[in-house]
Amino acid sequence: MTSPLMQVEDLSISFKINDKWCRAVNGVTFDIMPNETLCIVGESGCGKSITAMSLMKLLPDTARLGGHVRFGGQDILSLKERELEEIRGSRIAMIFQEPMTSLNPVLTVGEQIAEPLVLHKGMGWSEAKKEARNLLDLVRIPDAQKRLGQYPHELSGGMRQRVMIAIGLACRPQILIADEPTTALDVTIQAQVLALLEDIRKEQELSIVMITHDLGVVANVADRVAVMYAGDVVETGPVASIFDSPSHPYTQALLRTVPRADAAFELSPIEGQVPSIQKMPEGCRFAPRCKEETSKCNVTPKLSPGAHSVACWARGDIQ
Amino acid sequence: MKDLLVVEGLGKTFGSKKFLQAEYAVTALRNVSFTLGKGETVGVVGESGCGKSTLARCVLDLIEPTTGSVLFDDTDLTKLDAKAKRDIRSRIQMIFQDPYSSLNGKRTIGKTLAEPLWVHEGVKYKEALPRIHAVLKEVGLPVSAADKYPHEFSGGQRQRIAIARALILEPELIIADEAVSALDVSVQAQVLLLMNSIQKEHGLSYLFITHDLGVVRNFCDRVLVMYLGSVVESGPVAELLTNPKHPYTKSLRDAAPIPDISRRQSLALLEGEIPSPANPPSGCAFHPRCPRATDICRSEAPTLQSSDDQRMFACHNPEP
């Protein structure tokens, strides 16, 4: 049994709103295994993006963090800024949804890809620029030499996201965190970028943590899945098991709301709204919208043990 | 049955000619024709820059088309004067993608809903209140929403308000431009079902602009597939998606990820990117990316042909 690359234990993230601490992430636990794609999936406000940010301790000081993020014998959450700088962009890298706002508009593509190599690997600029060219080949940008001298506005959305991936991969990280990397792209371009990420993951033996709201993307790229709702991981397991036998009432309901291009069926929406962070229900946070609510649901359920685990009082053990 | 909307040869070229500057022209829409029956939903699907939003705006005459005609209930919208245009617009309404920017943040929901009644019928706010309350109930919001402001609502609720605003004049046609794209799937399903039940109730027609084939499959009767300003294929939704004739339709369908592990595959890859409308390829606009392209595709643009009375496609080498 291989040991996990990163262990997230009871991670909680709170923000102070109107003088009251509100828990946006409510104690989540999951592992990231070597050489796998873990998808964290959920709707707006479920805490998936801030969970991803906290894996690199990128949240502002106004956030109160609890729990542990264990990586390489250290707890990321207890590291100082200077120690974090050695990890960020070097051993753990991140790419974002909107490549136009995360690229610097006044630097050339080449300079931006070379920068992490100069900072982390101590390369000289000319050597780093050469390596940048190789990275553009790796992300399959044609005409790499010309592209190196271009600015982000000269590239299409798909190309910009490829440049982001090249920057992320520059220092050969062990973990690449991708926050909705294809959400802003057209479907044919999305398919290209997803295939690229998958190929690179295999080649480089990298682990990818992909944050997405799109269950179609999850079904096509994930090895394992964590489903989040209102700050909790409600279900986690191998991708085949999650889609073939979804167990949590939320996962089941969510799968019935996605319109599919291959078949028409009666969509059944989940009634009600995701609760506001200031008014989270006690106990299971899905209970007010759940059709299987029981008297136990006012206590927060824990994830059941096993590879496919679920946090729900209405479910027995599930293996 | 008579068609509510008949669009013929619609084209739009944006361009300008400035002093000492080269003239430039971008053809956003090229010879688009379709019909929309009463109570029918026609989807328009395509990727960024395919002209689907330009089409929506040209139909409403929000931007003036360069060529072609838009017959709404036998009246050509492109030939009307301002007064007549305003009158007929009360029968066509529009819903936009982003309910955060399409509602006025400084106005209560009631005031927002009252405005079309004042503009088109001269009804004052107090007299309009019963109708405002009725339409709020119809879209599943409490009557008390009339006194609140947009920031007090979630994205899904705001889209319901936008639907209420479109509905209050009891239009015959609603043009929805990516109306559910910004919503989470669970809320998206709520809004789609609401739009469905409104259609059954009022017998109105939708022109539904979207990039999401899943939404098209579950919501539309017929669909137009657009690429770089032209319709490349059209027909009844189920048939068209089961057996696409145009290679682009097929690629689009196969690139859409399906939440089903048994359908997991390397998403069929379409090489290259969407060309710029300012500099379109010769011949068929899709040929540089097309796996079935031959010599004729590079030189000659295909025209729409019909395989049977319902389906049309523009391709020299259609899928079998």
- How many Å apart are CA B1 and CA B128, to the nearest integer? 35
- Tell whether B74 is covered by a domain: yes
What are the two backbone dihedrals, phi and then psi, of residue B25, each rounded to the nearest 5 degrees? Answer: -145, 135
Q: Which residues pair with B227 in a beta bridge?
A: B230
- Tell whether B254 is covered by a domain: yes
Candidates A155, A152, A154, A160; CA nearest to A182 is: A160
* pLDDT greater at residue A316 or residue A212: A212
pLDDT at position B1: 62
Same domain, B52 and B134: no
- Tell whether B276 is covered by a domain: no
Q: Are A238 and A37 in contact (CB under 8 A)?
A: no
Give the residue numbers spanning the domain of B121: 104-170
- How many Å apart are CA B153 and CA A314, to the nearest integer? 32
Question: Both tokens of residue A294?
Answer: 């029981």
Q: Are A249 and A255 in contact (CB under 8 A)?
A: no
Question: Both tokens of residue B290?
Answer: 């097309």
- Tell whether B296 is covered by a domain: no
Considering B132, B150, B170, which residue would you say is the last residue of a domain? B170
Residue B76 in this model has a pLDDT that exceeds 50? yes
Chain A residues inside the 8 Å CB shell of B218: 259-260, 264-265, 267
Same domain, B8 and B142: no
* Strand stretches in chain A, DSSP E: 6-17, 20-32, 37-41, 63-71, 74-75, 92-95, 175-179, 207-212, 224-229, 232-238, 309-310
* Residue A269 DSSP class: P
Residue B4 in this model has a pLDDT that exceeds 90? yes
Same domain, B194 and B111: no
pLDDT band at A262 (very low <50, low <70, confident <90, very high): confident
Same domain, B80 and B56: yes
Q: How far is A141 from chain B (nearest CA, A)?
A: 10
- How many Å apart are CA A131 and CA A143, to the nearest integer? 15
- Beta pairing class for B230-236 and B222-227: antiparallel
Q: How far is A32 from chain B (nearest CA, A)?
A: 21
- How many Å apart are CA B14 and CA A159, to the nearest integer? 26
pLDDT in tens, B95-105: 998 888 899 99
Q: How far is B231 from chain A (nearest CA, A)?
A: 18
Same domain, B112 and B15: no
Between chains, do A268 and B189 touch, taking CB under 8 Å as contact? yes
Domains of chain A, each with CATH number or no CATH: 6-91+173-310 (3.40.50.300)
Task: Determine the average pLDDT of the residues in B145-169.
Answer: 94
pLDDT band at A316 (very low <50, low <70, confident <90, very high): low
Considering B170, B185, B213, which residue would you say is the last residue of a domain? B170
Question: Nearest residue of A to residue B48 by CA position?
Answer: A186
Region class of B131: left (phi > 0), else alpha (psi between -120 and 50), else beta: alpha
Same domain, B230 and B257: yes
B193, B237, B241: residue with CB nearest A269: B193
Between chains, do B264 and A219 touch, taking CB under 8 Å as contact? yes
Report CA dihedral (B70, B75, B77, B80) to the nearest 10 degrees. 150
Please name the residue that has the structure tokens 């068609």: B3
Chain A residues inside the 8 Å CB shell of B47: 186-189
Residue B119 in this model has a pLDDT that exceeds 50? yes
Q: Which A residues, 218 through 237, put their C-beta within 8 Å of a C-beta on chain B?
A: 218-220
Q: Are A28 and A66 in contact (CB under 8 A)?
A: no
- Beta pairing class for A309-310 and B92-95: unpaired
Same domain, B78 and B181: yes
Question: How many domains, in total, are found in chain B?
Answer: 2
Chain B residues inside the 8 Å CB shell of A258: 185, 214, 259
Q: Who contacts A258 (Cβ-Cβ below 8 Å, separation ≥6)? A: A215, A216, B185, B214, B259
- Tell whether B225 is covered by a domain: yes
Burial class (CB in 10 A: 0-12, 13-18, 19+), B126: exposed
Same domain, B17 and B162: no
Q: Are B249 and B230 in contact (CB under 8 A)?
A: no
| CATH, residue B38 | 3.40.50.300
Question: Both tokens of residue A252?
Answer: 């089941």
- Tell whether B290 is covered by a domain: no
Tell me the CA distances in angstroms from A70 to A49, A303, A316, B67, one per residue in order: 19, 20, 30, 64
Same domain, B111 and B202: no
Candidates B159, B179, B182, B164; CA nearest to B112 is: B164
* Residue A263 DSSP class: B
**Which of these ranges, A94-108, A126-140, A215-229, B187-201, has the smallest mean pLDDT?**
A94-108
pLDDT at position A117: 95
* Residue B62 DSSP class: S
- How many Å apart are CA A259 and CA A268, to the nearest integer? 10
Same domain, B45 and B87: yes
pLDDT at position B268: 65
- Tell whether B294 is covered by a domain: no
- Tell whether B73 is covered by a domain: yes
Task: Determine the average pLDDT of the residues in B156-168.
Answer: 94
Same domain, B259 and B186: yes
Considering B254, B269, B284, which residue would you say is the last residue of a domain? B269
What is chain B's alpha carbon radius of gyration, rounded to the nearest angstrom? 21
* Residue A286 DSSP class: T
Same domain, B74 and B10: yes
Chain A residues inside the 8 Å CB shell of B181: none
Q: Who contacts A162 (Cβ-Cβ below 8 Å, separation ≥6)? A: A136, A139, A140, A141, A193, A196
pLDDT band at A318 (very low <50, low <70, confident <90, very high): very low
Please name the residue that has the structure tokens 């062990």: A174
Q: Who contacts A140 (Cβ-Cβ below 8 Å, separation ≥6)? A: A162, A196
pLDDT in tens, A48-89: 999 999 999 999 999 999 999 999 999 999 999 999 999 999
Candidates B41, B56, B88; CA nearest to B195 is: B41
pLDDT at position A79: 95
- What is the length of chain B? 320
Between chains, do B214 and A259 touch, taking CB under 8 Å as contact? yes
Tell whether A198 lies on the interface with B, counting CB pairs under 8 A: yes
Q: Are B224 and B45 in contact (CB under 8 A)?
A: yes
